[in-house]
Chain A
C-alpha cells in the first residue's frame, strides 16, 4: 500500500481537486458541533451558559442563584457548592495533551485561578433564558492579589536546558557579539467556530458532539473526569470551523456540559461566546526571548545563547518546543534555557507553529541583525551556517531542501534587486523594505489506525479517528485512498458526511501538526467504481495470478504482462460472492528512525512603512516550503496562505491585552483583538519544493500546516528594519513603536 513499494500509478495524489465537502460548507449544510439535533438522534436538548469569574484570583465566598432559579425555563444552576464531586482520574500524556500539573476542574473547589474562569453554569430550556439566568447569578469573592504580568513574574521550577559545546567560551572568543531581547505578545486562536459541545448520557454511556482536533481526547478526558471506561464515551466530530491548536485538548467547559447533562438528565448544548474563548480555552503564550550571538567576521556563527521566559498558569505548565535554535544552523556552541513563569492566568496551549514560530522570530531577527552588522546578505549568511547533518543530534536529515527554498525564493521574489542599505528605498511618503527569514518545524509521527472497506459497487470507504479541522482532510485522504486502491477519484461527500469517527481502540495522536493530508488522520473517504479501460477485453481473472503481479488502474485489475485481460473490483467480488472487503491498517512510527525530520520554510516579505505615521503595510509575501510531498496543491495553498496571513497578524496586529490590575482581558472580541482583514493581505504566494520524504512516513509527507507560519513574523520584522533602519524587538509591531 505504501508508495515506496507500490507499482501502482499515482494519479489522484498531487491533483488540485476541490474539497469533497466544499459544497456542504458554502451552502451552510455542513453541521458543526452545535448544529446537531433531532436528525442525529438528539432529542430534548437544553442549553447551558457559563458564568465567569469577574476577578483574577480569589476564594468564592458565596453563590446566590435564587434569581436565576426563579426564572421560568431555568432547570438548574451548578457551581462548586452544589456540583457533584467527580472522580477526575489522572489523564496524562499521551492519552491526552494535558500538560503537567493539576488541570482545571469543573466546580470542584472554591478557588478562582484566573479572570473569566467558569464559576457556575445555568441550564435552561432556551439559550436566551440560560443567558439571562447567567446574568442573574451573583458570586461573592474574597479577593487575593493577582499577578498576570510576565515581565514582573518569577520563573517556577527549574528551566529546561539544552547545551552543546561551551557557549560562554564561544561568545568570549567571537569576533562579533550581539545581545538582544525579543518580546512577543499573547495571541489567541480566534477560529470562526466557537468551542461548542452537545453532551448526551444514555445510562452510564456518554456521547458528545464536540469541536475537537482529536476525537480521542474528549473521549479520554471525559472518561477520566467521570471515572468511566474510555469505551463508555463516544466523541463525534464531523467538521470543525478552524482550531489552530485550540481543539487539541479538552477544556473544562466540555466536562461542565457533560456534568450538567448528567444532572438534568437531558442532552445539554453549550456554545461559548467569543468573549469566553479568550479565557475559557488556550492561547499562544507571551514570551521574552533573549539572544546572545557570537560570530566570526566571515559570518560563521560560533555561539548562540537563548534564554527564554514564557507565561503559564499556576496550575499547569505548558511548554512550547523551542528546539529551532538547536537545529537550524551549524553553530558549534549553543546553550538554551526555557523558563516558565506561573501567573494567575488560564493555561496556554499550542497555537499554529507552536514554539517554532516564536523561536523563529527571535532567531531569525537575530540572524538579520548579524547580517547587517557584518554587511553580509541575509541569505548568504544562512548559507554559510547551513548544516550537513542535524547539529543537535548528529543524525542525517531525512530531507532538507532549504538551500532550494532560498534559491527559488530569491529568484521568484527578486531578492537581488534589493538595495541592502536600510532606509534607502522610498515611494512617496513610504519607505520600502524587504525582509527574509527561514524556518523549520519538526515532523512528528504518531500511531494511527484506519479502516478501509471496498464495497461491491466499487466504492471505497476509509475511516480513521480524526476530525477535519479545515485543511481538507477528507479530501486529501480520499486522494490517498484512491491511489492506494487504484480507483478513480471522484468526490463523494455523502459517504464522508454520514461517517462519523470510530473511536480508536488504542491510544493515538491527533497528528494535528501534519500537512493537509495524511492517512492516519483522515476519517472517511471514497472513490468511484472501477471502469474497464476502453478497448480492453474482460476475461482472465486477476485473482488467480500471483497477487504481486496484479496491476490495478482506475479500478481495473489485470496482470502486468497482459493489461487487456482483467476485471473490476465489483466483478471480482461478485464472482466471489462478497458484499465487501475490509481491512484495518495501522501505522506505528519506528522508535528510532536514525533521521532528523523537519519541514522548512523560506519567507520573503516586502513592506511599505509610512514612518511619520508609524504605519506598516505588507505589500507582498512569498513563502517557499519544503514540506515533502504535496497531496493536493489547492488545499496546500489554502494552508499556506492562511498560515502566512496568520503571520501578518502575529507580526503587526494580534495581541491579547491583559489589565494586570485584575487579570481582565480588555480586548476579548473582534473589535479589540485585531486580525488581518483583506486590505492587509495584498499579495501572498506559496511555492512548494518538489519532492517527497520517504523516511518521514509511507506517503512521503513531512507536514505543511504548521511550517507555513514559521518565519513569517521575522521576515516582516526584518523588512520593517530594512525599510526604516529601525529595529523593533517586540511583536506586534505597532505604530507607536515606529514613531519618535
Chain B
C-alpha cells in the first residue's frame, strides 16, 4: 500500500517547545531543519550520520523507526532465524556475531536494532502517535520497540491496521545541550558498532536532567537509565563522565565476537558525555 500521498510530512513545534515529526517527513528535511538543529542537535546529528545522502533524501521518520535489523542471518533466507521464521532457531548466537547486541538479548534472538534516530529519540523521551481501526494511540518510545524474548518476530507495539502518524518529542527544560556520536568501521554509509545520544540540562552548575541512550548494542534502542541516574544532581566535572559511563554496559551479555562492545560502549558514552557536557 502506497501511503506517500498522506499529509504526514510536517515538522512542527508545539508552543511549549515540543517537536512533532510527521511519519512521512524525510530524514534529510528533518536533519536540515534550522529549528530542529537549534533545539535538538542530537536528532540532526543522528540523522546526518545515518545511511547515505540518497537514502536520507527518500527515507522517512516513520520508516526509520520501523527499520529492521541488519543481522545477516535474518537477511539470508537459508539461515535459521527466529525473527524471520519463528521456531527455526538463531544462527547468530553461535555464529558470526560481531555486529550483534550485548543488551536486551534472549536465547531466541541477539539481533541489533540498527536505527540511529531511534537512539536519539529514546534519549529524548519521545512518543509514537499511531492511528488505526481502534482510533488513536500514543506509545512511549521506551515501550514501542519490543525486547525479543521468546517472540523476536514481534518487533514493535503496533497493532494490525495501525499506522505511525507522528513522532513527538516532548518539551525539554532549557538550556538543553545534546549530540550524537557514532563509532563505526568506516567514516560514512555504515551502521554503528556503538553509538551514544546524550541530552543534558545543566542549571546552576548542576545536571538537572539527563537523557542518555546507546545504539549498536541493544536489541532495541537502549536507554541508559543507570548512567542518567548517576549524572543527575551532580556537577559536570572531573571523573563524572567516566564514572557515569562505567554503568553503560550493566547487564551486558557479550557473544563470541562482540565482547569488545562492552568496553567500547562505555568509552563511547564517556566521550559523548564529555563532548556534550564539556570538561575533561
Closest B residue to A667 by beta carbon equals B72
User: In the bound complex, what is the Cα–Cα distance between A117 and B79 (angstroms)?
Assistant: 16
User: Contact between B186 and A612 (Cβ–Cβ < 8 Å)?
Assistant: no
User: Contact between B188 and A613 (Cβ–Cβ < 8 Å)?
Assistant: no
The answer, yes or no, to whether A26 is at the interface (CB within 8 Å) is: no
Q: Binary interface profile of B, 80-105, with partner A (CB < 8 Å = 1, else 0)?
A: 00000000000100111000000000
User: In the bound complex, what is the Cα–Cα distance between A210 and B42 (angstroms)?
Assistant: 50
Question: Given the known A-B contacts A661-B95, A664-B79, are A614 and B187 also in contact in the complex, defined by CB atoms under 8 Å?
Answer: no
User: Contact between A672 and B72 (Cβ–Cβ < 8 Å)?
Assistant: yes
User: In the bound complex, what is the Cα–Cα distance between A268 and B183 (angstroms)?
Assistant: 46
User: Contact between B263 and A653 (Cβ–Cβ < 8 Å)?
Assistant: no
Question: Given the known A-B contacts A612-B271, A613-B268, A613-B271, are A735 and B183 also in contact in the complex, defined by CB atoms under 8 Å?
Answer: yes
User: Contact between A661 and B94 (Cβ–Cβ < 8 Å)?
Assistant: yes
User: Contact between B263 and A740 (Cβ–Cβ < 8 Å)?
Assistant: yes
Closest B residue to A612 by beta carbon equals B267
The answer, yes or no, to whether B193 is at the interface (CB within 8 Å) is: yes
B185's partner among A659, A664, A674 (CB-CB below 8 A) is: A674
Which residues 38-97 of B sit at the A interface, judged by CB distance below 8 A? Answer: 70, 72-73, 76, 78-79, 91, 94-96
User: Contact between A653 and B186 (Cβ–Cβ < 8 Å)?
Assistant: yes
A735's partner among B76, B96, B191, B264 (CB-CB below 8 A) is: B264
User: In the bound complex, what is the Cα–Cα distance between A634 and B63 (angstroms)?
Assistant: 44
User: In the bound complex, what is the Cα–Cα distance between A652 and B185 (angstroms)?
Assistant: 8
Contacts of B73 on A, CB cut-off 8 Å? 666
Segment of A216-224, A331-339, A409-417, A676-684 engaged in the interface with chain B: A676-684
Which residues 413-467 of A sit at the B interface, judged by CB distance below 8 A? Answer: 429
Which residues 297-348 of A sit at the B interface, judged by CB distance below 8 A? Answer: none
The answer, yes or no, to whether A573 is at the interface (CB within 8 Å) is: no
Q: Which DSSP category, helix, strand, loop or mixed, fits chain B's interface?
A: loop
Which residues 680-701 of A sit at the B interface, judged by CB distance below 8 A? Answer: 680
User: In the bound complex, what is the Cα–Cα distance between A740 and B263 (angstroms)?
Assistant: 8
A736's partner among B72, B96, B187, B260 (CB-CB below 8 A) is: B260
Which residues 174-199 of B sit at the A interface, judged by CB distance below 8 A? Answer: 183, 185-191, 193
Closest A residue to B99 by beta carbon equals A672
Closest B residue to A613 by beta carbon equals B183
Closest A residue to B274 by beta carbon equals A429
Question: Given the known A-B contacts A666-B96, A736-B260, are A677 and B189 also in contact in the complex, defined by CB atoms under 8 Å?
Answer: yes
Question: Given the known A-B contacts A664-B79, A672-B72, are A659 and B95 also in contact in the complex, defined by CB atoms under 8 Å?
Answer: yes
Interface size on A, residues (CB 8 A): 28
User: Contact between B95 and A666 (Cβ–Cβ < 8 Å)?
Assistant: yes
Q: Binary interface profile of A, 723-740, with partner B (CB < 8 Å = 1, else 0)?
A: 000000000001110011
User: Contact between B186 and A657 (Cβ–Cβ < 8 Å)?
Assistant: no
User: In the bound complex, what is the Cα–Cα distance between A674 and B76 (angstroms)?
Assistant: 18
| B38 nearest CB across to chain A (Å) | 26
The answer, yes or no, to whether A237 is at the interface (CB within 8 Å) is: no
Contacts of B95 on A, CB cut-off 8 Å? 659, 661, 666
User: Contact between A674 and B190 (Cβ–Cβ < 8 Å)?
Assistant: yes
Which residues 587-627 of A sit at the B interface, judged by CB distance below 8 A? Answer: 612-615, 617
User: Contact between A679 and B79 (Cβ–Cβ < 8 Å)?
Assistant: no
Contacts of A667 on B, CB cut-off 8 Å? 72
The answer, yes or no, to whether A54 is at the interface (CB within 8 Å) is: yes
User: In the bound complex, what is the Cα–Cα distance between A112 and B268 (angstroms)?
Assistant: 45
The answer, yes or no, to whether A583 is at the interface (CB within 8 Å) is: no
Closest B residue to A681 by beta carbon equals B187
Which residues 523-560 of A sit at the B interface, judged by CB distance below 8 A? Answer: none
Closest B residue to A648 by beta carbon equals B186
User: Contact between A671 and B70 (Cβ–Cβ < 8 Å)?
Assistant: yes
User: In the bound complex, what is the Cα–Cα distance between A739 and B268 (angstroms)?
Assistant: 12
Contacts of A653 on B, CB cut-off 8 Å? 185-186
User: Contact between B187 and A617 (Cβ–Cβ < 8 Å)?
Assistant: yes
Contacts of A678 on B, CB cut-off 8 Å? 188
Closest B residue to A115 by beta carbon equals B78
Q: Which DSSP category, helix, strand, loop or mixed, fits chain A's interface?
A: loop
User: In the bound complex, what is the Cα–Cα distance between A614 and B193 (angstroms)?
Assistant: 11
User: Contact between A679 and B271 (Cβ–Cβ < 8 Å)?
Assistant: no
| A192 nearest CB across to chain B (Å) | 16
Contacts of A614 on B, CB cut-off 8 Å? 183, 260, 264
B183's partner among A54, A615, A652, A674 (CB-CB below 8 A) is: A615
| B99 nearest CB across to chain A (Å) | 8
Contacts of A735 on B, CB cut-off 8 Å? 183, 185, 193, 260, 264
Q: Binary interface profile of A, 655-669, with partner B (CB < 8 Å = 1, else 0)?
A: 001010100101100
User: Contact between B185 and A677 (Cβ–Cβ < 8 Å)?
Assistant: no
Contacts of A680 on B, CB cut-off 8 Å? 186-188
Closest A residue to B91 by beta carbon equals A659
User: Contact between B70 and A679 (Cβ–Cβ < 8 Å)?
Assistant: no
Which residues 190-242 of B sit at the A interface, judged by CB distance below 8 A? Answer: 190-191, 193
A739's partner among B70, B76, B185, B263 (CB-CB below 8 A) is: B263
Contacts of B91 on A, CB cut-off 8 Å? 659
| Residue among B73, B78, B263 with max Cβ neighbours from chain A (10 Å) | B78
Contacts of A612 on B, CB cut-off 8 Å? 267, 271
User: Contact between A659 and B190 (Cβ–Cβ < 8 Å)?
Assistant: no
Closest B residue to A116 by beta carbon equals B78
User: Contact between A657 and B96 (Cβ–Cβ < 8 Å)?
Assistant: yes
Contacts of A664 on B, CB cut-off 8 Å? 76, 78-79
Closest A residue to B73 by beta carbon equals A666
B260's partner among A659, A666, A674, A739 (CB-CB below 8 A) is: A739
| B114 nearest CB across to chain A (Å) | 10
User: In the bound complex, what is the Cα–Cα distance between A667 and B190 (angstroms)?
Assistant: 13
Q: Binary interface profile of A, 387-428, with partner B (CB < 8 Å = 1, else 0)?
A: 000000000000000000000000000000000000000000
User: Contact between A613 and B267 (Cβ–Cβ < 8 Å)?
Assistant: yes
| Residue among B96, B193, B267 with max Cβ neighbours from chain A (10 Å) | B96
User: In the bound complex, what is the Cα–Cα distance between A652 and B186 (angstroms)?
Assistant: 9
| A318 nearest CB across to chain B (Å) | 24
User: In the bound complex, what is the Cα–Cα distance between A740 and B271 (angstroms)?
Assistant: 16
User: In the bound complex, what is the Cα–Cα distance between A54 and B80 (angstroms)?
Assistant: 12
Contacts of B190 on A, CB cut-off 8 Å? 674, 677
Q: Binary interface profile of A, 9-35, with partner B (CB < 8 Å = 1, else 0)?
A: 000000000000000000000000000
Contacts of A672 on B, CB cut-off 8 Å? 70, 72
Which residues 120-154 of B sit at the A interface, judged by CB distance below 8 A? Answer: none
Question: Given the known A-B contacts A666-B73, A672-B72, are A679 and B260 also in contact in the complex, defined by CB atoms under 8 Å?
Answer: no
Contacts of B187 on A, CB cut-off 8 Å? 617, 677, 679-680
A-B contact list, 16 entries, CB within 8 Å = A429-B271, A612-B267, A613-B183, A614-B260, A652-B185, A659-B96, A661-B95, A666-B95, A666-B96, A671-B191, A677-B189, A680-B186, A735-B264, A739-B260, A739-B263, A739-B264
- B interface with A by C-beta (< 8 Å): 70, 72-73, 76, 78-79, 91, 94-96, 183, 185-191, 193, 260, 263-264, 267-268, 271
Name the 4 nearest CB pairs between A and B, nearest first: A679-B187, A736-B260, A54-B78, A679-B188
- A interface with B by C-beta (< 8 Å): 54, 429, 612-615, 617, 652-653, 657, 659, 661, 664, 666-667, 671-672, 674, 676-680, 734-736, 739-740
Given contacts A653-B186, A666-B76, A677-B186, 18 further A-B contacts (CB under 8 A): A429-B271, A613-B264, A613-B271, A614-B264, A652-B185, A653-B185, A657-B96, A659-B95, A659-B96, A661-B94, A664-B78, A674-B186, A679-B187, A680-B186, A680-B187, A734-B185, A735-B193, A739-B264
